[in-house]
Structure 1
């Protein structure tokens, strides 16, 4: 759910702010599409790969935002203002934590199965 919420926020930000911004505008659309795909994979594919993608998606999008806030990213200098910013940062942190936690659980589960077999 966190990845999907982040994806929707990226679409909203593309529509409202970045539609005509070079590099960052298309990146927002890619984040939307990628987030929707990853959210679908998390729902329908019980495998470690979607968990890894969720963690990487969260880390990449949060990292890009933090870069935009601190030094700027392709001419965009963001600020910690607005519900979208705080919500996106929160769900991206959740995606990272849940993705890593899920990967660790998958690893423990596969180790337990291999010990039994």
Structure 2
């Protein structure tokens, strides 16, 4: 069995639950991933691309976030939801490190509460909560 195969928990009852509640949580998580990815893309264009390690990470975050957004919405499997949780946690952790102790040479404590940072942090929390709730909802209905 591969990860592409439906899990043993993928039943018609699970599909029925996905329509109203789980689908809303999936879209909520996908929106968080997408907004965070777009903030990183904007910041990359605004000069972060010139930072050695962090610049490539910002563009990878943006591209990966767009792909993950589509996967959360289209692929009715638990794996993209885990990806949404991980994306939000890792992105938020990298941001908190860069604002406190430094992250790959970037320490920006004065930018801790700028508009892009607040939007991205809120989007990351949204990705974590939305993906997590969809995962819980889909797992508990079987």
Same-fold status (TM-score > 0.5):
yes
Which residue in 2 is equivalent to 1:100? 132
Point out 4+ residue stretches in structure 1 off by more than 4 angstroms.
Answer: none
* 3-state SS of 1:19 partner: helix
In the alignment, structure 2 segments of 5+ residues that lack a partner are 1-30
Structure 2: distance between partners of 1:22 and 1:80:
20
TM-align CA RMSD: 0.9
Q: Distance in 2 between matches of 1:93 and 1:81?
A: 15
TM-score (norm 1): 0.90
Say how many residue pairs are matched.
110
Question: What is the DSSP-based 3-state SS (H/G/I as helix, E as strand, rest coil) of the residue aligned with 2:106?
Answer: coil
| Residue-by-residue CA offset, 1:71-94 (whole Å, 9 max, x unaligned) | 001111123132111000001001
Given candidates 43, 57, 66, the residue that maps to 2:73 is 43
Inter-partner Cα distance in structure 2 for 1:17 and 1:76: 13
Matches within 5 A, 1:1-117: 1-78=31-108, 79-110=111-142
Q: Give how far 1:17 is off.
A: 2.7
Structure 1, unmatched stretches of 5+, are 111-117
* Partners of 1:82 and 1:62 in 2: CA distance: 15
Give distance in 2, aligned partners of 1:47 and 1:53.
11
1:5-62 CA-partner distances (Å, limit 9, x unpaired)? 1111000011113111100000001100110010010121111111110010000000
Q: Supply the distance in 1 between the matched residues of 2:86 and 2:131 (Cα, whole angstroms).
A: 8
